[in-house]
Structure 1
Amino acid sequence: MKNRKADDMTDTLQAVTSEDTSIQTHNGYGTTLAAVTYLPAGFDAEGSYPAIVVSHPGGGVKEQTAGLYARKLAGHGFVTIAYDASFQGASTGTPRQLENPYIRTEDVSAVVDHLTTLPYVDADRIGAMGICAGAAYTANAAINDPRIKAVGTVSMVNIGQMFRNGWDGAMADADAAPVLAQAAAARTSDATGAPDGNQFPLAPLRKEDAPSPELEEAWEYYRTSRCEHPNAPSWMTTRSLSQIVTYDAFHKAETFLTQPLLLVAGSEAGSKWMSEDLYGRAASTDKSFHVVEGANHMSLYDGEKYVEEVVGALAPFFTERL
């Protein structure tokens, strides 16, 4: 017997439309974000819709997992926007591949700025979600920006915690001091005009560089036909580390992260502890933690059955809170 509900969802997804969008930021750096806006089936420009900002992982671009989630959430009736971070992908800004966490947080609010200007978006019903580092930047943006009314995270990585404490949280903060020294040397090299060689991997650039099977899957995602994209080199400038190492995406979450919050992580994800940390720290009285059994960090990027489970949690969460 055919699953009518599944067929209806497939039809709705096929009816989602998308359009390229340029978003001028006001973060002081003058960058323009390249984005894709996804419009739900039966979209009516005279209507009023809830909207969701979707932020990509560190080293990623909108054409990968962020675009996948944006399209699927649009299938549930939301206007969604997936975008490339400043200095990355098709967005403007130099130096290329700068991963400045403060600007990445500002990018989330820049997309919110844009959404508030759209006549068909209800400015009181704007949510945000992200994947990996994009999830923690989303949480940080919500701490700063109460226009974000609900927050969803998937396979979240607090990029500062990761570089201080390691993928599994086993390192002490002080162990990251050599990384700060490396960043400082890169800045000096940049300032003196040395040849550009300051590339620091955000995912293994070669299979043999991966320290574990889980992170070998990160190499596979970014560097093979699984989901590679020419705009996603999966590295950042080494100078970025001088901002990243001391950054805490959850700073003041105990006071200001009061919005409804849904965290999603795989049961086998080495990064799961960072979602647990935010769950404990967030001031929100409406927070929940959805664990996807059997999934690791990368499974939730594009694994079909896992993504369907995650969207099955995110869609009703945003529907009820927006």
Structure 2
Amino acid sequence: MSKVTFKNLNGQGIEISAEINFPRNFDESKQYPAIVVSHPGGGVKEQTAGLYARKLSEHGLITIAFDRSYQGESTGEPRQLENPYVSTEDVSAVVDYLTVLPYVDSDKIGAMGICAGAGYSANAAINDRRIKALGMVSAVNIGQMFRNGWDNTVADADAVGYLEFGSNARTTDVSSGEYAIIPLAPMREEDAPNAELREAWEYYHTPRCEHPNAPGFALTRNLNQIITYDAYHKAEAFLTQPIFAIAGSEAGSKWMSDDLIARAASKNKTLYVVDGANHMSLYDVLPYVDEAVAQLAPFFKETLK
């Protein structure tokens, strides 16, 4: 594994921090397929994204897990900005970097992500034809999740209050000089509305997988971008690349994987359901992670050959 930093060319002056994982018997004189791995909202590369990246590299792939702009060890102010349009562009910024590495075959680049990172990866694949294959684990379309709720029980129009809340936060940010924040996962155990989201609290805020660079919140002002964002926008026309989505049979978020598979124009698209897994258990519960990797690795090797 090699830790790298590189300039993000999206115009914000950001330095992206990332970790590259190499396959066994790596030969720098050869070229390999490469996978960009995107972390969940509120997460960092050292958590589930890094775990999947390391495991996929054991199957002959170069993988790169990175911190999004304004997050983790990447630069940018204000910290913890979660603008979904920036997050989508970050995936393509990492692809930019891969194309200049001599040991990466720039015609064989895939993208995958976990949770919101899967949604951002899908949006990037819609926009960026250099991404030749898309993998998704516990996919979340962050706009849908905030608009429609974890279980898809809220109508779009009923989410207008979040736009009011985000708009007002922008005003108070200016007047107070401090940024208002919102949780991306429950910040306290007692805030969790159900057992599945209690696991989100446990993942981010206990020794299970807590990390000092992953506080688990975003800025309230980001609601103005998130509520109207659709990670799958125009998938019906432009998401033609092969897709492999993985969701847990017990995941409240599974409907967002179903939606992408239904909408995508791709003729090569699969939804694989991990029996017994919920949304969070696919992050780091090794039997479930290993089952997911056992599906993703051959998918990427086949579609990027």
Which secondary structure does the structure 1 equivalent of 2:26 belong to? coil
Aligned: 1:162 with 2:145: yes
Residue deviations 1:185-232, cap 9 Å, x none? 11111222x042511000000000000000000000000000000000
Query: 1:175: how far off?
Result: 1.4
Which secondary structure does the structure 1 equivalent of 2:213 belong to? coil
Counterpart residue number, 1:266: 248
Q: 1-side partners of 2:179 and 2:60: how far apart?
A: 45
Aligned: 1:107 with 2:107: no
Q: 2-side partners of 1:191 and 1:207: how far apart?
A: 31
Segments of 5+ residues of structure 2 without an aligned counterpart are none
Root-mean-square deviation (CA, aligned residues, Å) is 0.7
Aligned: 1:240 with 2:247: no
Which secondary structure does the structure 1 equivalent of 2:131 belong to? coil
Q: 1-side partners of 2:259 and 2:174: how far apart?
A: 37
What letter matches 1:311 in structure 2? V
Question: 1:23, 1:110 within 8 Å by CA — same for their partners in 2?
Answer: no
Q: 2-side partners of 1:186 and 1:295: how far apart?
A: 37
Q: 1-side partners of 2:285 and 2:55: how far apart?
A: 14
What is the aligned length?
304
Question: 2:173, 2:179 within 8 Å by CA — same for their partners in 1?
Answer: no
What letter matches 1:157 in structure 2? V
Q: 2-side partners of 1:38 and 1:148: how far apart?
A: 19
Query: 1:64: how far off?
Result: 0.1
What letter matches 2:161 in structure 1? P
What letter matches 1:103 in structure 2? V
Residue pairs, 1:199-214, within 5 angstroms: 199-214=181-196
Relative to structure 1, the CA distance from residue 197 to residue 27 in structure 2 (aligned partners, 3 Å threshold; closer, same or farther) is closer
Which secondary structure does the structure 2 equivalent of 1:269 belong to? coil
Query: 1:30: how far off?
Result: 1.3
TM (normalized to structure 2)?
0.99
What letter matches 1:133 in structure 2? A
Aligned: 1:120 with 2:103: yes
Relative to structure 1, the CA distance from residue 161 to residue 135 in structure 2 (aligned partners, 3 Å threshold; closer, same or farther) is same
Residue deviations 1:55-114, cap 9 Å, x none? 000000000000000000000011100000000001000110000000000000000000
Aligned: 1:188 with 2:148: no
Residue deviations 1:16-56, cap 9 Å, x none? xx011112111121111110011111111101100000000
2:238 to 256, 262, 270: 256
Which secondary structure does the structure 1 equivalent of 2:102 belong to? coil
Which secondary structure does the structure 2 equivalent of 1:54 belong to? strand
Aligned: 1:172 with 2:152: no
2:202 to 213, 216, 220: 220
Question: 1:164, 1:171 within 8 Å by CA — same for their partners in 2?
Answer: yes
Question: 2:32, 2:104 within 8 Å by CA — same for their partners in 1?
Answer: yes
Segments of 5+ residues of structure 1 without an aligned counterpart are 1-17
Residue pairs, 1:1-322, within 5 angstroms: 18-192=1-175, 194-196=176-178, 198-322=180-304
Q: 1-side partners of 2:6 and 2:118: how far apart?
A: 20
Q: 2-side partners of 1:95 and 1:179: how far apart?
A: 21
What letter matches 1:21 in structure 2? V
The percent identity for this pair of structures is 66
Q: 2-side partners of 1:242 and 1:111: how far apart?
A: 26
Query: 1:273: how far off?
Result: 0.2
Query: 1:308: how far off?
Result: 0.5
